[in-house]
């Protein structure tokens, strides 16, 4: 889903940013930095009744650019995921830009769409809740993938295949039909070796312990809180 006509300016700005970023090699450190910069709100005991902090929407949207770059490093078979992430990033950015004060946090955006009855829509600026859910799946995929990769120690192709498949089954498989699942299985055989994958993002083997700690610190709370919030609001099964 792309942005609508009202967010063309924002889409152009995002495109210019993407072009500038494309001129620089992507590093795993950028992904960690993007998620470490995410701020969280303070639960106020409102109608949602959810007691845990949730991310600021704009911070989360900004981090999705780094998420899209990660999929480039899994090979050409995963480029369709990058395109999907960027499309949904732009839609979420349009939702934020339409009302920055009213959509400052994920909580505000979702609660407003629940009040308006638009949480399950698939179109335009009022499609934030559903598109955020799809991005939650991708962020969970990357969390599980990089957590598992950080725990491995040799550079065999089989290790990366196992990590990607485990992450896919954990975060995405239940949401896909047979055709996509079959395509993902085939794509596993075209993955780079784990060593090539990590080197392409500037990951130093000696810093795996540090990376694992940072992955757990910035990804785990985000993933767990968002999933718990969507479960509490009965939103995990949006069409």
- For residues 75 and 34, the model is more confident at 34
Q: Quick check: 12 pLDDT over 50?
A: no
pLDDT, residue 94, reads 93
The tens digit of pLDDT for each residue in 109-138 reads 999 999 988 888 764 445 799 999 999 999
Question: 3 pLDDT exceeds 50?
Answer: no
Lowest model confidence (mean pLDDT) among 65-69, 124-128, 141-145, 181-185: 124-128
Q: How far is CA 137 from CA 81, 97, 181, 239, in A?
A: 11, 23, 15, 14
pTM: 0.85
Q: How many CA atoms lie within 13 A of 134 on its CB side?
A: 21
How much is the pLDDT for 2?
A: 32
| 3-class DSSP assignment, residue 56 | strand
Domains and CATH numbers, the chain: 5-232 (1.10.3520.10)
* Per-residue pLDDT, 31: 95
pLDDT of residue 125: 43
Cα of first residue to Cα of last residue in the chain, in angstroms, is 14
Overall average pLDDT of the 169-198 stretch? 90
**pLDDT digits 0-9 by tens, 211-222:** 999 999 999 999
The tokens for 218 are 């910035």
For the chain, what percent of residues have pLDDT higher than 90?
58
State the pLDDT confidence band at 239, using cuts at 50, 70 and 90.
confident
Inform me whether the pLDDT recorded for 7 exceeds 70. no
C-alpha distance from residue 124 to each of 61, 87, 93, 166 (Å): 16, 11, 11, 33
With vertex at residue 48, the alpha carbon angle to CA 113 and CA 55, rounded to the nearest 5 degrees, is 75
26-69 pLDDT, tens digit each = 999 999 999 999 999 998 756 678 999 999 999 999 999 999 99
Q: Is the pLDDT of residue 5 over 60?
A: no
185: tokens are: 């299985």
């Amino acid at each position: 889903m792309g942005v609508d006509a009202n967010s063309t300016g924002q889409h152009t700005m995002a495109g210019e940013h993407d072009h500038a970023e494309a001129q620089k090699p992507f590093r795993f450190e950028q992904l960690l930095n993007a998620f470490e910069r995410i701020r969280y709100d303070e639960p106020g005991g409102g109608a949602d009744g959810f007691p845990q902090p949730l991310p600021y929407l704009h911070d989360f949207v900004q981090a999705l650019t780094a998420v899209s770059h990660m999929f480039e490093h899994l090979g050409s078979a995963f480029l369709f995921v990058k395109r999907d992430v960027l499309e949904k990033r732009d839609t979420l950015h349009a939702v934020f830009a339409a009302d920055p004060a009213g959509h400052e946090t994920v909580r505000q955006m979702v609660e407003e769409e629940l009040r308006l009855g638009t949480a399950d829509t698939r179109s335009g600026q009022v499609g934030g809740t559903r598109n955020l859910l799809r991005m939650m799946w991708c962020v969970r995929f990357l969390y599980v993938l990089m957590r598992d990769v950080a725990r491995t120690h040799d550079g065999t192709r089989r290790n990366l295949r196992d990590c990607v498949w485990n992450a896919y089954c954990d975060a995405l498989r239940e949401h896909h039909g047979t055709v996509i699942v079959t395509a993902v299985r085939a794509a596993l055989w075209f993955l780079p070796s784990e060593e090539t994958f990590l080197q392409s993002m500037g990951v130093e083997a000696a810093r795996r312990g540090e990376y694992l700690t940072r992955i757990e610190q910035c990804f785990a709370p985000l993933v767990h809180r968002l999933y718990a919030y969507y479960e509490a609001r009965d939103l995990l099964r949006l069409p």
